[in-house]
Amino acid sequence: MQNRDKLYIDGAWVASTGTGTIDVINSTTEEVMGTIPEGTAEDVDKAAKAAKAAFESWSQTSVEERGKYLQRITEGLSARTMDIANVVAQEVGMPLNLSMLIQAGLPTMTFGSMQGILDSFPFEEQVGSSLVVREPAGVVGCITPWNYPLHQIAAKVAPALAAGCTVVLKPSEVAPLNAFILAEIIDEVGLPAGVFNLVTGTGPVVGEAIASHPDVDMISFTGSTRAGRRVSELAAATVKKVSLELGGKSPNIILEDANFEQAVTDGVGKAFLNSGQTCSALTRMIVPRSKLAEVEDIAVKAAETYTPGDPMGGDARIGPLVSAAQRERVRGYIQKGVEEGAKLLTGGAEAPDGLEKGFFVRPTVFSDVRNDMTIAQEEIFGPVLSIIPVDSEEEAVAVANDTMYGLAGGVWSGDAEKAKAIARQLRTGQVEVNGGAFNPLAPFGGYKQSGSGRELGKFGLEEFLETKSLQL
């Protein structure tokens, strides 16, 4: 049991002004694995005031000094890789070997990349008779989700600190224990008091207090599109800068000349990563109707290798979902797919055999999906793939773009130039071409209702800067 009874505010571990606690549930055993303070608006007020007071000096520190702190945090994260991987595997359900690489590895990489980015970033440039300078945006409220909990925290906190901003962080109350590890590391490296503050609690209390607090200059939010709209409404009252990374329903176009064995197998994996709890998951596989039978055979064969099981050991390739609520939501979508006439190839709404305990869902593949079906339009956030047959490349692009989202996508073709040409037609922030790997230095973010702004690399740093002209 990890019972966390303090918040981290103004460089110290302090009790919440409230008395409530929130249970953290192990997604595999369904048992309580820890507790956290149920923070209050008063806690947020203290944290925001501390961050505002600290901003004056932190914003004036040199790039070199900020880089040294970030490097020390990177080393601290690296030293605690196993702790982080274990905690997130239990909280979220990602198998431990993947949790080591992704849930612990990416945050370390993000903090580690910042020093190099700072060294080469153009904070000043001459434009005619003006000196244009880039300055920190101020106090940043970071509100983060549960699916890649520490990665999403790092994607905000690392560039915010690098830019010279101070931070008030609210991690998801569903998977918050990893955030305490980061706070411990930050405390150990001696980051000045008030530069980083951690307040745990619920969205309607702590999240809304951060989004509406007058001392918070900017909000960086990752979560559902619905919650993003609410954050934007609250932030608008004080005209805060807002960066949003929201939902997705990402298309994966496989063209007639693609290597179908490779493309379909890869596509199933991209839909099922982290039990499908990935905002950029490629959940709509758009394929030539003439190849549908071949696609179905390959997809079923690939999906059935994703054996559900305990993420902490054994040969499980896919763990549970994060919560009972999430399990019910995903099962509801699977039932909806059947009701609306999609062809269920494998999986289904029943619990996987022998896994009645734990928030498990069968890896599921539907075919003959129409793009107007619920399972093709709404973000399911579970291991559910929709195969959509089309009759032309033009129709494939039209179907791909026929969604309110625009976060990610994929294109497969035997002709790399053709794949890139199709990729350019997708209204989405990121496209994998022939299975191109995720690049943690490339910009990540969405078009349309998938959000605004970009994270990661130098593009992520730019989000936390304001631009000033000195007319000389």
Provide the annotated active-site residues: 245, 279
What are the φ and ψ backbone dihedral angles of 36, each rounded to 5 degrees? -135, 160
Buried b (16+ CB within 10 A) or exposed e, 137-173: bbbbbbbbbbbbbbbbbbbbbbbbbbbbbbbbbbbbb
Residue type at 163?
A
- Cross-strand bridge partners of residue 139: 166
Give me the torsion for CA of 210, 215, 221, 227, rounded to 10°: 40
DSSP string, 263-331: HHHHHHHHHHGGGG--TT---EEEEEGGGHHHHHHHHHHHHTT--B--TTSTT-SB---S-HHHHHHHH
Q: Which are the contacts of 116, defined by CB distance < 8 A and separation ≥ 6? A: none
Q: What share of the chain is helix, strand, coil (3-state, %, to 5)?
A: 45, 20, 35
CB 283 within 8 A of CB 386: yes
CB 308 within 8 A of CB 363: yes
In what helix (H) or strand (E) does residue 108 lie, and over which residues does it extend? helix 105-120
What SS3 state is found at 78? helix
| Residue from 18, 21, 42, 48 nearest 32 by CA | 21
CB 465 within 8 A of CB 163: yes
Token pair, residue 98, equals: 């993947």
Q: How far apart are the first and last CA of the chain?
A: 61
Angle at 43 between CA 22 and CA 159, to 5 degrees: 90
